[in-house]
């Protein structure tokens, strides 16, 4: 008697990510109760399972859902505000003043809804967020049916969200306590950056992270100014400062890592830290090119992030995958550095590993959650196909994503969002734009 299951997905190709460098042809993924129960040849599936639903993808590549390892989702409402400026000028003269005036729980909820829609439609099923009003971000992610790691942000200075570091931490932990049983949510402690958090408050965040068994997500070595300021104020560069404070560990997710020397790369590797590589944001803000070839060669886990839409200006992991691979080749002078399979791993399992979620997501494997993305390669710009992995990384784009599942539930079907009214979202964004920078009549 065949085993009843919820869903059988048959695809022309499946790239499971683990084991590495594997492409399965004419295989199927069996899904039940939100989890993968088998990966097998299509001609065997009918003899083993009685699916309630069958999804046939004859011109598609099926991959794990993409993981956006670093973003500020609500900042989609600031997309394009103050472009083409250096990081600190952009922050101090445009972003921070706009945030001080406009950021609220409603702003975060609405901006995160917009971000989730963009990410889901582009094949991203999980994002690691860092922003104010984390409860509002979490509620928007849940409303969108998306998996999210919610950052519990900490800063030294007051904002409309919190008065001081203790207030940030208390509010963040209250959000975590309220929502900790939501299966699509996880949490990180998120002390913003070495230039915005004191030693005392880093120590508090570390203590709480250890007590609650949470990763720590922060910005690190993003600009040369950050390094110069750290030398002036602390006498050491930020990585060494964090080492002395005890923050270097397998639970550390360092966004950017644009300026790292050989000793710092060795330290990150020795302590099992992860880097959230954000190539488009680093280029747009002229921050530099992260030494991804050296990081991966030394065994540092690397995931891919977009940063916020205000500094990218897209939440597009396909674009980041391709750029990450090309920049690594160009900056190292080695064409074999960061191949297609490795770039795809960074965009999936690398991010999941950094978040401590690799037992649940990041690859197509028995027992894992059915977070999946189907890419339709039946397109004039994607033919011929000699290597599906190469095609995904170097040729395909988010516009080729056809179907997306989160925990076995379909969220995008034939390119259309199922949980979101796109027209309503566009109108909502226009209302916020008119508040932030009214159009001249």
Residues of 378-416 as b/e, b for ≥16 C-beta within 10 angstroms?
Answer: eeeebeebeebbbbbbebbbbebbbbbbbbbbbbbeeee
* pLDDT tens-digit map of 32-73: 999 999 999 999 998 999 999 999 999 999 999 999 999 999
How many CB atoms within 10 Å of residue 85? Answer: 16
Q: How many CA atoms lie within 13 A of 296 on its CB side?
A: 22
pLDDT of residue 171: 98
Q: What's the mean pLDDT when you consider all of the chain?
A: 96
pLDDT of residue 1: 74
Q: Are residues 233 and 335 in the same domain?
A: yes
CATH number of 372's domain: 2.30.40.10
Give alpha helix (H) positions in 95-186.
96-102, 105-121, 134-144, 165-179
Residue 304 gets the label, from left (phi > 0), alpha (psi -120 to 50) or beta, of beta
CATH number of 122's domain: 3.20.20.140
pLDDT of residue 440: 61
What range defines the domain where residue 272 resides?
Answer: 66-354
Q: Are residues 136 and 59 in the same domain?
A: no
pLDDT of residue 439: 66
Q: Are residues 87 and 126 in the same domain?
A: yes
Q: Are residues 248 and 290 in the same domain?
A: yes
In a domain, 419, yes or no: no
Q: Are residues 45 and 106 in the same domain?
A: no
Q: What is the Cα–Cα distance from 401 to 26, expressed in whole angstroms? A: 19
Q: Are residues 295 and 228 in the same domain?
A: yes
Q: Are residues 334 and 346 in the same domain?
A: yes
Instruction: Tell me phi and psi for residue 23, to 5 degrees.
Output: -125, 120
Q: What is the mean pLDDT of residues 208-228?
A: 97
In a domain, 439, yes or no: no
Angle made by CA atoms 40, 44, 46, in degrees to the nearest 5? 115
CA dist 68 to 73, 140, 244, 321, 336, Å? Answer: 10, 16, 29, 11, 24
Does the pLDDT of residue 319 top 70, yes or no?
yes
Does the pLDDT of residue 441 top 60, yes or no?
no
Comparing 94 with 347, the larger pLDDT belongs to: 347
Q: Are residues 54 and 82 in the same domain?
A: no
In a domain, 335, yes or no: yes
Last residue of a domain, one of 312, 332, 354: 354
* pLDDT tens-digit map of 233-251: 999 999 999 999 999 999 9
Nearest Cα to Cα of residue 117 among 397, 414, 412, 433: 412
In a domain, 425, yes or no: no
pLDDT of residue 86: 77
In a domain, 261, yes or no: yes
Provide the whole-model pTM. 0.98
Q: Are residues 23 and 164 in the same domain?
A: no
Q: Are residues 192 and 276 in the same domain?
A: yes
């Amino acid at each position: 008697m065949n085993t009843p299951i919820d869903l059988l997905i048959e695809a022309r190709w499946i790239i499971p990510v683990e084991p590495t460098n594997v492409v399965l042809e004419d295989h199927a993924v069996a899904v039940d109760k939100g989890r993968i129960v088998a990966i097998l040849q299509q001609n065997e599936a009918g003899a083993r399972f009685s699916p309630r639903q069958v999804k046939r993808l004859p011109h598609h590549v099926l991959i794990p859902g993409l993981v956006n390892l670093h973003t500020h989702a609500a900042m989609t409402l600031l997309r394009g505000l103050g472009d083409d400026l250096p990081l600190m000028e952009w922050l101090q003269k445009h972003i921070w003043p706009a945030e001080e005036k406009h950021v609220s729980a409603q702003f975060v909820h609405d901006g995160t809804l917009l971000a989730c829609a963009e990410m889901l439609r582009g094949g991203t099923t999980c994002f690691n967020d860092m922003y104010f009003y984390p409860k509002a971000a979490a509620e928007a992610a849940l409303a969108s049916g998306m998996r999210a790691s919610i950052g519990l942000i900490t800063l030294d200075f007051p904002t409309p969200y919190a008065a001081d570091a203790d207030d940030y931490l208390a509010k963040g932990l209250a959000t975590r306590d309220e929502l900790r049983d939501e299966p699509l949510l996880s949490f990180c402690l998120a002390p913003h950056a070495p230039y915005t958090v004191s030693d005392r408050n880093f120590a508090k965040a570390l203590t709480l992270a250890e007590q609650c068994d949470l990763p720590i997500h922060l910005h690190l070595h993003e600009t040369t100014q950050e390094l110069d300021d750290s030398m002036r104020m602390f006498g050491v560069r930020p990585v060494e400062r964090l080492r002395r404070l005890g923050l270097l560990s397998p639970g550390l997710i360092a966004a950017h890592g644009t300026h790292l020397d050989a000793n710092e790369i060795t330290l990150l590797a020795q302590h099992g830290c992860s880097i959230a590589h954000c190539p488009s944001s680093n280029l747009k803000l002229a921050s530099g090119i992260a030494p991804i070839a050296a990081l991966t060669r030394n065994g540092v886990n690397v995931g891919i992030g977009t940063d916020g839409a205000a500094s990218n200006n897209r939440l597009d992991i396909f674009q980041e995958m391709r750029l990450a691979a090309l920049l690594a080749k160009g900056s190292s002078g080695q064409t074999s550095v960061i191949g297609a399979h490795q770039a795809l791993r960074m965009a999936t399992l690398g991010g999941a590993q950094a978040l401590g979620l690799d037992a649940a997501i990041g690859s197509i494997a028995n027992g894992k959650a059915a977070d999946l993305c189907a890419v339709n390669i039946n397109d004039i710009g994607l033919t011929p196909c000699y290597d599906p992995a190469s095609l995904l990384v170097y040729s395909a784009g988010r516009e080729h994503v056809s179907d997306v599942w989160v925990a076995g539930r379909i969220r995008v079907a034939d390119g259309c969002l199922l949980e979101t009214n796109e027209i309503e979202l566009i109108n909502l964004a226009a209302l916020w734009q008119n508040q932030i920078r009214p159009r001249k009549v």
